[in-house]
Structure 1
Amino acid sequence: MTVNSEKSLLNLVPEILHERVTRHWQDWVKACESIEQNPQQETDLTLLGKIWACSEFIPLTMIRHPQLWFDLIQGNFLNLSFTLEDYRQHLMLRLEENSAINDIALMKQLRLFRAQQMLRIAWRDLADSANTKETLCNLTDLAESLVDITLETLYQDQCEQLGVPFNSREEQQRLVILGMGKLGGYELNFSSDIDLIFCFEEEGEISGKRSLANSQFFIRLGQRFIKALNDVTADGFVFRVDMRLRPYGDSGPLVMSQAGLEQYYQTQGRDWERYAMIKARVIGGDRIEGEAVMDMLKPFIYRRYLDFGAFESIRDMKAMINAEILRKGNLNNIKLGSGGIREIEFIGQTFQLLRGGSDPDLQIRGILDVLKVLAEKEYLDSKESDSLTASYDFLRRLENRLQIYADAQTHLLPDGKEQQASMALAMGYESWQSLFDDCEKHRASVQASFVLLLNEQGSESENDAEQEKTEENSIRSIWLHQQDEDEVLAILENSGMANFKAVYNLLDQFKKSSQLNAMTATGRQRLDTLMPTLLVFLREQSNPEEVLKRLLGLLQSILRRSVYLSLLNEYPEALKQLITLFAASPWIAQLLSRYPVLLDELLDPRNLYQIPTALKLKQELDGLLLRVVDDEEQQIESLRKFKQAQVLKIAAMDVAGVLDVFEVSEQLSNVAEILLDKVMSLALDWMVAKHGQPTCVIDGEEYLPSMAVVAYGKMGGRELSYSSDLDLVFLHDSQGEQQQTNGERVLDNTSFFARMAQRVIHLLSLQTANGRLYEIDMRLRPDGNAGMLVSSVQAYDLYQHEKAWTWEHQALIRASILCSSEHLALEFGRIRRSILMRQRDNAALATDVVEMREKMRDALGTKHETGQFHLKQDAGGLVDIEFIAQYGVLSCASKYEQFTEYTATRKILMKLIECNLLNSDQAQCLYDAYREYRTCNHQRALQQLTSVVEIESVATLKDNVKEIWRVVFEKQSVV
């Protein structure tokens, strides 16, 4: 490099940056030599030096990819402002020329294209060849072209692989991508994330090699799309993709149908989502369907009337902004700090939310256009609008140049001397201090406008609201600790709060906890909004101290996930319902505290108390698993979350008296059966994928054998409780010749079904972060723990007829076959009827039953030694009633075949009148006792209490059952 060249290069560069620019030049010369190019080719060295001084991103990108730079030079692209169509043409040409035929190749070309175009945009911005508006539009158009073409490329490839998704009119469906935030408003930053929402027209199935739901197709497409843009590879990334603005956030489906989207925003959309949707627009996929989505969303975003209904929410958002600034400081943050970009956007979007429904001229996206309209319509003073516009231009230009410096998503003013010198040069200032002073003037002007916002509007409604919340505000003062202890105690006492001293102590401890100190400003603001309402509802409880203790356990588990606090703030009825449930059941409180995601189930009390059909349960579980196809870990977690959600609903209906004890058991059994069926299906799919389908040859014909589950005990009798184990036995119907699978890795059928059963047990009982589905007990299988894990139906038949004990035949009464083929179900039914209808010696039978019962009492009962009574195991308890019913079936079924139809104890009891084992009074007495015992057991389970009660509380029930037991078995002279 000659002396003149060096002088030209450093002509406009501050001395503090000379060494850095010179070092970059040396590296640039080497990079050009590697591709045999002249480093000074068609380059103004003075401009090059200045731009390199302003940005580390530009020289480092040139040095790493020198050919990208020379391609820009040769095409004269540094002097051109690209349109969206320009980007599309250049990107498609690059993909065609470089044969991007798979995801990896596609990702490489996308990253190189992004690097080249960002280099071009950054150069033009720092060379002052483009104003702020052009730079923002160029960045937005670049992102839109990359989104749209990437999606289309992946969509065509996936259609070839899996088939084409159709709607009900047999028309091809495509994904719709909504761009949110600055991407939607043509205001994208240089290093911004892109906020997206995916949706598709309607559910259905693809036309392909195998059945696949449209939702599943588009979820896979969305996952591939995000990976293509978001993943960091050796070539960098394209854009960070943020999907958190979609319905339900991270917990929601990645892709949602239009109907699902509409349902969500009509029933659950919040004001902050209206705020976010103002800038939304279609940026990828099916533009026609996308516009239909936007038309559907418009009534949600913009109310038809002057919308002061959103006034309180906007005030809360403004308060949140202020609280965050005060808490975090953000003095150097030109976006989030006082007088920053966010405040300008908030001013414009506040008017849009309040008046956009009645004034369509405000239904626009760009903030500068909004400010212009606000001035024209005199919603804002024209001088204030001009001031905000100038400040916005300045701050956005500065924000972009902060990000161009190192391609980093930052909004912080630099504190290092070198970067300060770079920013002053980039913004055209002689010194950093003069730039900083101008920046502060703009921020002060913006802050003044922000402070004035909402001061006048809606003041009357605000005053009314304040009058209605007088009592709540006094309790708010308790939470905010504005009074001394005596004053707080007086307020609590006057409000009617029981145990008010204990309540005060709990609140005081909670407020001083380290967890609260570690909260974000947003989270703390949401907690400060929640606590007063919670305290108002708490006054209605008879034992507020215990209820508050449980509630604080939940709050401590969700403080770092403040979205839950926000949800409870937005749904006060859900909060009230939550407090009712926590008061009724520490078990529910513990469940929700451990798994806060279940709070979503409380948001709609109508849904919470709606008894689901088995079909609806199945559809809901299928829908959950569609989101996690091919991800075993997530499938297991989805199964557990489904169970927890359903058990919570059942417990809530139990507490509210919507279900009686038998209906509770029926619903718990429905949930277990649905889960068993799904787990069996997953286990079978897993085994078949590895070994093929099990087959056998019977009498010269091929047969496809299967495996089924026999549920014993409470599951078999559909009498599950909240914490019941599942007593299971596995049967298969493979027999004959060539009993093996038809896959590449051949396995004999016995081993196939044994491994499948192991897989089922694994899926059911595996302990994960979300708990386990069920404890599994296999001791009732033939030969108990020493027996085979899975029995053939022939071996099971032989065992039951020749080796089973009386107690095993008793157990068979409460056995049901589940997840079964028709053949296995018929065979099991035949075996069960044959055993139960066997002609027996009733005296010997009675002796066996009584002896077994006595052994159980001795091992498990309390023997009433301490004035206590075990609801199940003591004499006169639940098991006595079950044994009477079982004795009745085994002794009478040979003459009364209908006795074999029932597995539930309560249904058997009334049938025993027909065989004269019981008279109607005895049967009714046992039925009532059975119901009362079961009800008490359920209630105690919800209270996390054992089955042992004070004997006086059940003395009459116990004595009645004992007397009937004596009468029944005295006839056989065994009592």
Structure 2
Amino acid sequence: MAFQSFTGPLSMDQPIPPSPVLHPSWQGCTWPLPADGRGAAILHEHLAAACARAGLPDVTTLPGAAPLIDALGGNAPYLADLAQRDITAFLALLTEGAESCTRRILDGLEALPPAMPRARIMADLRIAKRQAALAIALADIGGAWTLEQVTLALSELAENALGAAVRHLLLHAHETGRLRLRNPENPCRGSGFVVLAMGKLGARELNYSSDIDLIVLYDPDRHPGNEGLRHTFVRMTSDLVTLMEARDANGYVFRMDLRLRPDPSATPAAVSFPAAIQYYESMGRTWERAAMTKARPVAGDITAGRRFLKSIHPFVWRRHLDFAVIDDLHDMKARIDRHRNAGHADLDSLPPERIRDPAAATAWLLGQNVKLGQGGIREVEFVAQALQLVWGGRRPELRDPTTLGALRRLRRAGLLERAQSAILARNYRMLRQAEHRLQMRMDHQTHSLPDTVDGFARFATFMLAAVPGELASGMLAVMQRSRRIFDQQFAEGGTEDQTIAPEDADAADRLRGHGFAAGDINDALVILNRWEGNRLRALRSDRARKLLRRLLPTLMAEIGSRQQPLAVLRRFDALLERQWAGVQFLSLLERNPVLIHRIMTVLDCAPFLADHLAQTPSALDGLLDMEDGPGALGTATALVRRHVAGAGTAEQVLPVLRGLVCGEEFRLSVARLEHRMGEDRAARARTAMADTVMRGLLAVVTREHRRRHGSVPGGAMAVVALGKAGSHEMMPCSDLDLMLVFDHPDDAGESVVPASVPADGIPPRPLSAGTYYVRLAHAFVAALTAPGREGPLYEVDMRLRPSGSKGPVAVSLSAFRRYHAESAWTWERMALTRARVVAGPPRLAGALRAAIAHALDEGPHATAPARARVLHDVRHMRERLARERPASGPWDIKRRRGGLMDVEFVAQGLQLLAAVPATRSPSTRLALLRMARAGEMDAHDAGMLRRADLFWRTLQGLIRIICGRDIPETIPAASLEILTGEFNVPDAAALLRRMDRMAAAVTAIFDRLVPPIADTPEP
């Protein structure tokens, strides 16, 4: 049920019909029996007397009302008092139902005029709280509402009460001259004063007698020149506490807790935006990050509150995965355990027979704190919050402030097993219900179960349990399973702390046992000795060194299992040396044993990737993404789109994009090294990432360019990818071969609409449309290639544009058409077979695709001399490349005879000769398949070339992961294992023989389809 606001006069009590009937919503409820029969009887008497005094029908005689009244009088003295105190409201509640009454109360709070006298405001808030508390409690006790409905109603009650109080205080400050409001009719809007709800109120999960955790903030920029602003808002906060907390004849509204504000011992009750932001950016702690995951503006200037939360978003949701947060929360929970559980046996170790024994289970639970104790509510919340903090920076879909909602999202994301999520949710619901029953009795903020057997028996009755011992056994079993899940999530990994240092007498033997050769042991000990001291920045804290000692056995076993343990150890040392946050990095390893194996695979088999990993620690994020299916790519590209959508400038978004691209590249590269992903899938994923980045950056750069230089009416620019990016076949280290094409109406050549005059009053210089788009193109390329900590996003090659490096960086659509109609070389048309429009408005993209198709349709397939000229040009270009840039060795996959270039030249050349345009495709393999099906080439030749294309691209892709763009003379032994495993051959010699056979087969087909120049008839 969602509560809504209704307009109308404030009225807590509604007229009662002359012959009232119990509302149908109460008819199906199951009410607990009275644990105190005398209390139930007294309530019946008092209610009857109160009705008589008020001239109302006797509520005790309503058919079906007796069990409800017994449940109140016999279990909850506080609720019984509320029913007697507001007898008219109680009768309305019974006849109208909880939903109608609660909605009316919430509406009344919304409608409270802020100009009312202070005493009247205080009274109305307390009356509303009293009546709503009774309505919500009855709906909870009778099972008419779910837990989510109950906590939502309590949260909206607190929120609406705060809203009414803040509106009153702001208007009062304005009327007394302490504050100047822009809109006194709506005091909150633009006031800069905001109340943030934290904890359970922020998450809309308020419990029955909860304090409300709040942070009060103000934006000084909203009130320039007001020297007494701080004093005004601090005084308003004090008045707000009085309005909500002060007890009088009508009770109180809610207790407020302001201790979650930044540095509460040193800051005033109301904190300015700049002070709060500076605190969180410089001193914010893990528990404050966890608290801020639930923060929500609930009163005052809501827009300002949202603006503040957006400003501290990077503090709360860190983009890089941070498993150190789990240790921080574990330490926090351990302190709670030490304080709360003295004398309690460890719940996790309770034997099943003791849990099944009703008396023993009851004895263990007596006095147990259902919130902070073992297996309690806080442990469920910690599991959800820890996983959200670790993963939520990269996966926004996990950011649900509610505990039950977070558990569902973590389960869907595969971060919690279904069974674990179910038991945690069951425990949470059970204990929240118990918490509410405990608090309803006397309106005490208690979380402790009764500490006597008789008290527990009365509590069991209130919980609808016929046998107290059975309730205790059932609760304890669920709590134990929940506790074990908590322990699994927060357990300390690794084995017994170890050191391996020169002064350790057994050091050499232990290294030898790990697989180190005798000649390498001294060098290994030198590295390990550095780790024991304070020489590495990452290991200067005691906690970091402790983590490393716990990890050392696992690390050394993994390193020792490699072919060259000393080389791997040195590379890991280089990686460790470059870490700024040793605790975070080592926590990542401890919480993710698979990550250790992946890192060592990289360090052992891919020296190039290892060096890049050491220089770019953010690439570790990619190694942590275990998912290799379509969902992983969707997550990465969705993150790019989300960050680009919220970016104002390219400078703001580029650091984030570099990290995302780097992490995605490492994810794909390691998946290839471990043979978990094929080359085609990895290539498509790389290309999809590049496409998303280019589309997003073009939009950002275009917006920025328009702000600076204005716009061209009806004009636009598009990005065309060629080469491997155009064919969806991008490899590690692939450049982006790009062509930028713009178009505008013929009459817009000199009609750039200027941007608005900037603050300095100097209008921008007018530009011609051509110059406008050339500058836009330069800005786009500069954004792609701008250096950063992780390097540039991509290297860009624009030599395939019309006129090559001599032409402008961007060409008009008309110039593109003219060039390919009059001046294009054969090799340029070959490149055009892999052209693909990846970014730009739909109209220009469609026109550009048509222009590309037209340029290829004008090919020489009509006459024999023209076809001969194409074959001559293809052969001539291949021979020239063989002379000027010969293959450097057998591992030069692209340029060796019969290698990848020969396959691509055949596919591109034959596409130019194809009579049917539908046979063309940017993908080499798909183009070959289509031409074979259309009869443009022999099916056997096409099949052989398609196999060769995948073989060469797979081999070249792996070599690039291992060695980078440099062509190796030899492949390291550990890396050769990756190659031989990929192609299922026994050794390097067998792989080389297979490469030679493949090259010979491709060369034969190339020579047959593209004959040597001497045999090619002159056109």
* Fold in common (TM above 0.5): yes
| Corresponding residue number in structure 2 for 1:788 | 808
- Give deviations 1:373-395, integer Å, cap 9, x for gaps: 99999xxxxxxxxxxxxxxxxxx
Alignment partner, residue 447 of structure 1: none
Aligned equivalents of 1:310 and 1:535: distance in 2? 36
1:75-86 paired onto structure 2 within 5 Å:
none
Residues 1:92 and 1:600: Cα distance change in structure 2 (over 3 Å): farther
Corresponding residue for residue 657 of structure 1: 675
Q: Decide whether aligned partners of structure 1 residues 99 and 923 sit closer, same or farther in structure 2, where only a CA change above 3 A counts.
A: same
Q: Tell me how far apart the structure 2 counterparts of residues 182 and 579 of structure 1 sit (CA, whole Å).
A: 32
- The aligned residue for residue 557 of structure 1 is 578
Match of 2:772 among 740, 744, 752: 752
Correspondence for 1:708: 718
Give the percent of matched residue pairs that are identical in Structure 1 and Structure 2.
20
User: What corresponds to 1:271 in structure 2?
Assistant: 330
Once the two structures are superposed, residues 674-704 of structure 1 have per-residue CA deviations (whole angstroms, 9 ceiling, x without a partner) of 0000011001111222344421xxxxxxxx2
Q: Deviations over 1:284-312 (max 9, x none)?
A: xxxxxxxxxxxxxx99976536999999x
AA partner of residue 889 (structure 1): Q
Q: CA deviation at 1:671?
A: 0.6
The more displaced of 85-94 and 945-954 is 85-94
- Deviation track 1:31-51 (CA, whole Å, cap 9, x = no partner) reads xxxxxxxxxxxxxxxxxxxxx
Q: CA deviation at 1:251?
A: 5.4
Q: Deviations over 1:810-831 (max 9, x none)?
A: 1111111111333323322222
Contact 2:732–2:960 under 8 Å retained in 1: yes
The equivalent position to 1:884 in structure 2, one of 888, 903, 906, is: 906
Separation (CA, whole Å) in 1 of partners of 2:730 and 2:951: 15
Give the one of 211, 220, 224 matched to 2:307.
220
Q: Which amino acid aligns with 1:816?
A: R
The residue that corresponds to 1:929 in the other structure is: 948
Secondary structure in structure 2 of the residue aligned to 1:929? helix
Q: How does 1:684-763 map to 2 (within 5 A)?
A: 684-695=702-713, 704-739=714-749, 740-744=751-755, 747-763=767-783
Number of the residue aligned with 1:566: 587
Alignment of 1:223-234 (within 5 A): none
1:835–1:276 Cα change, 3 Å: farther
Quote how far apart the aligned CAs of 1:265 are: 13
Task: Supply the distance in 1 between the matched residues of 2:679 and 2:618 (Cα, whole angstroms).
Answer: 27
Alignment of 1:94-133 (within 5 A): 97-99=178-180, 103-104=220-221, 106=223, 109-111=228-230
**CA-to-partner distance for each residue in 1:712-744, whole Å, 9 max, x for gaps?**
111111111111111111112212214433344
Residues 634-649 of structure 1 correspond to what in structure 2 (within 5 A)?
A: 634-649=652-667
Of residues 881, 884, 899, the one that matches 1:856 is 881
Once superposed, what is the RMSD of the aligned Cα atoms? 5.4
**Amino acid of the residue matched to residue 721 of structure 1?**
M
Counterparts in 2 of 1:613 and 1:649: CA distance versus 1, 3 Å:
closer
Q: For residue 1010 of structure 2, give the secondary structure of its aligned residue in structure 1.
A: helix
CA contact (8 A) 1:714 1:724 kept: yes
**CA 720–142 in structure 1, closer or farther in 2 if over 3 Å, else same:** closer
| Structure 1 residues 820 and 308: alpha-carbon distance in aligned structure 2, compared to 1, 3 A threshold | closer
Distance 1:274 1:375, change over 3 A: same
Shift of 1:968: 1.5
* Residue matched to 1:844: 869
Q: d(CA) in 2 for partners of 1:153 and 1:602?
A: 37
Aligned positions of 1:818-833 closer than 5 A: 818-833=838-853
Please say if 1:802 is aligned against 2:822: yes
**Closer, same or farther: CA 931–370 of 1 in aligned 2, 3 Å:** same
- Partner SS state of residue 870, structure 1: coil
Give yes or no for the alignment of 1:304 onto 2:375.
yes
1:532 aligns with 2:649: no
Match of 1:621 among 622, 640, 662: 640
1:657, CA displacement in angstroms? 1.8
Unpaired segments of 5 or more residues in structure 2?
Answer: 1-161, 182-190, 193-219, 239-255, 339-368, 383-427, 453-483, 757-765, 971-991
Q: Report the residue type matching 1:304 in the other structure.
A: G
1: CA distance, partners of 2:928 / 2:326: 47
Name the CA distance, whole Å, in 2 between partners of 1:948 and 1:265. 39
Larger deviation: 512-521 or 590-599? 512-521
Q: Deviations over 1:134-164 (max 9, x none)?
A: xx99988998899986699999xxxxxxxxx
Seen in structure 2, the aligned counterparts of structure 1 residues 527 and 516 have a Cα distance that, compared at 3 Å, is: farther
The count of aligned residue pairs is 636
Distance of 2:739 and 2:841 partners within structure 1: 15
C-alpha displacement of 1:808: 0.6
- Separation of aligned partners in 1, 2:237 and 2:848: 70
> What letter corresponds to residue 795 of structure 1 in structure 2?
A
Counterpart residue type for residue 330 of structure 2 = D
Question: Cα distance 1:302–1:967, how it changes in 2: closer, same or farther (>3 A)?
Answer: farther
Is the Cα contact below 8 Å between 1:564 and 1:599 reproduced in 2?
no
* Cα distance change on mapping 1:308 and 1:491 into 2, 3 Å: farther
Q: Identify if the C-alpha distance between structure 1 residues 826 and 302 changes in structure 2 by more than 3 Å, giving closer, same or farther.
A: farther
Q: Do the aligned partners of residues 775 and 97 (structure 1) sit closer, same or farther apart at CA in structure 2, a change above 3 Å counting?
A: same
Change (3 A) 1:218 1:661: farther
Q: Cα 1:809–1:492, aligned 2, differ >3 Å: closer, same or farther?
A: same
Question: Does residue 908 of structure 1 match 2:908?
Answer: no
Contact 1:582-1:588 within 8 A present in 2 as well: yes
Cα deviation, 1:204-245, whole Å, max 9, x if unaligned, reads xxxx9xxxxx9x996633266x7xxxxxxxxxxxxxxx995x
1:776 corresponds in structure 2 to 796
8 Å CA contact retained: 2:435, 2:447: no
Offset of residue 581 of structure 1: 3.8
Deviations 1:44-102 (A, max 9, x none): xxxxxxxxxxxxxxxxxxxxxxxxxxxxxxxxxxxxxxxx9999999997785143867
| Counterpart residue identity of residue 739, structure 2 | V
Tell me if the contact between 1:877 and 1:958 (Cα under 8 Å) persists in the aligned partners.
yes
Contact 2:551 2:590 in 1 (8 A): yes
For the structure 1 residues 544 and 735, does the alpha-carbon distance in structure 2 shift closer, same or farther, using more than 3 Å as the test? same
Query: CA, structure 1 residues 94+520, in 2 after alignment: closer, same or farther (shift >3 Å)?
Result: farther
Cα deviation for residue 651 of structure 1 reads 1.3
372 and 847 in structure 1: CA distance in 2 versus 1, 3 angstrom threshold: closer
CA spacing shift, 1:114–1:924, aligned 2, 3 Å: same
TM-superposed deviation, 1:760: 0.6
Matched, 1:593 2:674: no
- Does the 8 Å CA contact 1:871/1:949 hold for their aligned counterparts? no
What whole-Å deviation, never above 9, does each CA across 1:760-779 have from its counterpart, x for those lacking one?
A: 11110111223111111121
TM-score normalised to structure 1 length: 0.56
Task: Tell me the secondary structure at the aligned position of residue 732 of structure 1.
Answer: strand
TM norm structure 2: 0.53
C-alpha distance in 2, partners of 1:299/1:819?
56
With over 3 angstroms needed to count, the CA separation of the structure-2 counterparts of 1:851 and 1:794, relative to structure 1, is same
8 Å CA contact 2:516, 2:565 repeated in 1: yes
Aligned residue among 913, 916, 919 for 1:899:
919
Instruction: Quote the residue 1:490 is aligned against.
Output: 509
Describe how 1:354-753 pairs up with structure 2 within 5 A. 472-473=495-496, 476-479=497-500, 483-484=504-505, 487-496=506-515, 501=521, 503-511=524-532, 514-515=535-536, 519-558=540-579, 560-603=581-624, 605=626, 607=627, 609-612=628-631, 616-625=635-644, 629-630=647-648, 632-695=650-713, 704-739=714-749, 740-744=751-755, 747-753=767-773
The aligned counterpart of 1:197 is 292
Q: For 1:894-948, what per-residue CA distance to the aligned partner results, in whole angstroms no more than 9, with x for missing partners?
A: x222123x01112222334346564333222222222222111111111125335
**C-alpha distance in structure 1 between counterparts of 2:306 and 2:169, whole Å:** 29
Q: Is the 8 A contact 1:519 1:559 kept in 2?
A: no
Within the candidate set 862, 871, 880, 2:893 is matched to 871
Q: How does 1:919-958 map to 2 (within 5 A)?
A: 919-944=938-963, 946-948=966-968, 954-958=995-999
Q: Confirm or deny: 8 A CA contact 2:718 2:740 kept in the other structure.
A: yes
CA distance in structure 1 between the aligned counterparts of 2:798 and 2:493, rounded to whole angstroms: 61
Question: In structure 1, what residue type is equivalent to 2:292?
Answer: I
